[in-house]
Amino acid sequence: MSTPRTPSGPMRTGAMGMGMPGGGTLPPAPGGATAAPAGDGGPSPVRPTVTVGTYPDYPSAQRAVDHLSDCRFPVEHTAIIGTDLTLVETVLGRMTTGRAALAGAATGAWFGLFIGLLFGIFTRGNWLAVILAGLVIGAVWGAVFGAIAHAMTGGKRDFSSASSLRAGRYAVIVDAEYADEARRLLAGMDRPVTATQARGEPRGDRPQAAP
């Protein structure tokens, strides 16, 4: 039996895309043009960035970006990145069934007040009584659910806490094409902003000395 021969010649382009070895095709791009595979020299959506300053806390990094903004720097090309992230859970106090019921009552009272106000708008009679009834009912049910939820933990979490993320250092980064200007402006951050900087100089141009 003779083996069928594969025609030699240029690959044919199918209706759905450009031909590839092995019979595969490239999917069409949104505009109808052929989309190039990733990593084959296509444009990268990630722009190169440069770190122009590192700070021990967030207010310092925020102050640096605010200074750039005061100098009319295009701050849409900047970012603040926190590194060495740490989860900090601050214990607020001991949680008992009574305190859980009290916290639930406060939450339920706010919700009941909202419902009471909503119904009170459409009430032709004593709307104040409707509001107070909603507040009381919400507080009672909130206290009940708060106490039940705490009891269901079985004493495994008899404390209240608040969690937050903290970074060890904060870096201010800018797009590479604006790095030199950002460094120049941050170098003079302790000096007051001049009128020329406030008006905004052309990027990369330094004021020329008078002859």
Per-position DSSP letters for 1-37, written without gaps between them: -PPPPPPPSSPPP-SSS-B-GGG-BPPBPTTSSBPPP
Q: Residue 79's closest CA among 195, 196, 173, 206?
A: 173
Short-list 28, 23, 3, CA closest to 12: 23
- The HSE-up count of residue 131 (CA atoms within 13 Å, CB side) is 11
* Res 8: pLDDT: 45
Please tell me the predicted confidence (pLDDT) of residue 172: 95
Domain boundaries, given as residue ranges, for the chain: 49-90+168-191, 96-157
Measured in whole angstroms, the distance separating CA 30 from the mean position of its chain's CA atoms is 28
- CATH 3.30.70 assigned to domain 49-90+168-191? The reply is yes
Query: What does the angle CA 144 – CA 145 – CA 147 come to, to the nearest 5 degrees?
Result: 65
Query: In a structure prediction context, what are the per-residue pLDDT tens digits for the chain, which is 211 residues long?
Result: 444 444 444 444 343 444 444 444 444 434 443 344 444 444 446 789 999 999 999 999 999 999 999 999 999 999 999 999 999 999 988 888 889 999 999 999 999 999 988 888 887 778 888 889 999 999 999 999 999 998 888 888 888 889 998 899 999 999 999 999 999 999 988 655 444 344 444 444 333 333 3
Nearest to 134 by CA among 147, 121, 148: 121
Structure tokens at 195: 């009128």
Cα–Cα distance list, 9 to 6, 13, 21, 109, 186 (Å): 9, 12, 12, 80, 62
Angle between helices 97-121 and 127-151 (to 10 degrees): 150
- DSSP secondary-structure letter at 200? -
In this predicted structure, what is the pLDDT of residue 105?
94
Question: Cα 28 to the chain's mean position, in Å?
Answer: 33
pLDDT the model gives residue 190: 67
Whole-angstrom Cα distance, residue 155 to residue 209? 74
Q: What is the pLDDT of residue 33?
A: 39
What does the alpha-carbon distance between residue 116 and residue 133 come to, in Å, rounded to a whole number?
Answer: 7
